[in-house]
Structure 1
Amino acid sequence: MTEVQAYGTIYEALGGGETVRRIVEAFYPRVKRHPLLGPLFPDNIEPVMEKQYMFLSQFFGGPSLYSDRYGHPMMRARHLPFPVTPKRAEAWLGCMAEALEEAGVDEELREIVLTRLSGPAYHFVNTEDDPT
């Protein structure tokens, strides 16, 4: 039995909102420093972090914080204005892997989370052009 099966949802297996918050707080400094990802984000990253916290809580099976506030996530449509390349999707997942480790998520659960996030990460790809 995997850790998620024991708890029912990824959100519960992670330990709820507190851990999701730690993941987001470990993730965005990495994103801002990353040469492929940083330029896509605003200087004031706090609103983005809050939306990510709400979205991930919901995406992992917790409360529907994002939808309650903003409606249906429509994440692919929300990412269309940004040039999301396969390399950027990989970089995003790499930053998330490091953030999960920093947040103290055990290895088995990290793999489950990254697998769950890989689908959307690559679904958001909207160009093959490498950023210059």
Structure 2
Amino acid sequence: MTTFYDEIGGMETIRTIVSAFYAGVAEDETLRPLYPEADLGPAEERLTLFLAQYWGGPTTYSERRGHPRLRMRHAPYAVTPHARDRWLHHFRAGLDAAGLTPEQDQRFWEYAHHAAMFMVNAMDESAG
């Protein structure tokens, strides 16, 4: 069975998306403070492995970290609507860098948009 992960080009494509995303995050005044690590490399690797697994690739993420528990893992950080919008802005750049077909892009974008909406945990823009 061919998975969406296989269809879009596997790990290489996921790495392209995530690399472009984190290049934007590194310079983002809203998002960068939400990443306490000085080096974004570990966060980049976690997102890469998570997305690969989510779309049907290797299960390395769960093998290393257990269940994703995304809301729990992000609970210490104020994810405001503005932060969500910045996250989506950089994720959009990642998808653009990947050169997916329009159908693949739409499917991935819909997932990213849904996930970003789900992660909002603070409405007060001064929170955090």
Q: TM-score, normalised by structure 2?
A: 0.89
Q: Spell out structure 1 runs of 4+ moving beyond 6 A.
A: none
**Residue in 2 that maps onto 1:118:** 113
> Per-residue displacement from partner, 1:83-106 (whole Å, max 9, x unpaired)?
001121121111111111112223
Tell me which of 33, 39, 42 is aligned to 1:39: 33
Q: What amino acid does structure 2 have at the position aligned with 1:89?
A: R
How far apart, CA to CA, are the structure 2 residues paired with 1:53 and 1:128? 28
1:36 is paired with a residue whose SS is coil
Larger mean CA deviation between 108-117 and 74-83 belongs to 108-117
Match of 2:12 in 1: 18
1:129 aligns with 2:124: yes
| Cα distance in 2, alignment partners of residues 89 and 8 from structure 1 | 31
Query: Does structure 1 conserve the Cα–Cα contact (< 8 Å) formed by 2:17 and 2:95?
Result: yes
The answer to whether the 8 A contact 2:91-2:112 is kept is: no
Distance across 1 between alignment mates of 2:126 and 2:115: 20
CA contact (8 A) 2:49 2:61 kept: yes
Paired residues, number: 126
Tell me, yes or no, if structure 1 residue 56 matches structure 2 residue 51.
yes
Aligned CA-pair RMSD: 1.7
Distance 2:15 2:124 in 1: 33
The Cα shift of 1:54 comes to 0.6
* Identical aligned residues as a percent: 37
1:100 aligns with: 95
Contact 2:21 2:91 in 1 (8 A): yes
CA distance in 1, matches of 2:125, 2:111: 25
The question of whether the paired residues in 2 share the 8 Å contact of 1:36 and 1:131 is answered with no
Q: Is the 8 A contact 1:10 1:113 kept in 2?
A: no
Distance 2:50 2:98 in 1: 18
Q: Distance in 1 between matches of 2:59 and 2:40?
A: 22
- Look up the equivalent residue of 1:20 and give its one-letter code: I
Determine the C-alpha separation between the residues in 1 that align with 2:25 and 2:116: 14
Matched to 1:86, the amino acid is P
Gap regions ≥5 residues in structure 2: none
The match for 1:87 among 53, 73, 82 is 82
What is the TM-score with the length of structure 1 in the denominator?
Answer: 0.87
